[in-house]
Amino acid sequence: MSVTDASATYNVSSKSIYRWLRKNVVDGNRNLVLELNKLRKENEQLYKLLGRATAEMHRSKD
């Protein structure tokens, strides 16, 4: 639905709709950044665990 159609359908100014859209995009990007940071930390922890498991596996073979 276009902003013009939504404005007419819901009797809201197009300026308000654009402001809401901008706010959602900014908030959405912030959430994406937080999620990305969380995933990076999880990956780092997994690499450490994998490295430890690999080292233990090599020690048990010797």
DSSP alpha helices (H): ranges in 2-13? 3-10
- Whole-number pLDDT of residue 45: 95
What is residue 2's three-state secondary structure? coil
Amino acid at 58: H
Whether residue 12 contacts residue 6, with contact meaning beta carbons closer than 8 Å, is answered with yes
Distance in Å from the first CA to the final CA of the chain: 66
The model carries a pTM of 0.46
Domain extent, residue 40, equals 3-61
Q: Could you read off the pLDDT of 1-42 as tens digits, one per residue?
A: 788 988 898 898 899 888 888 776 545 566 677 778 889 999
Question: Into how many domains does the chain fold?
Answer: 1
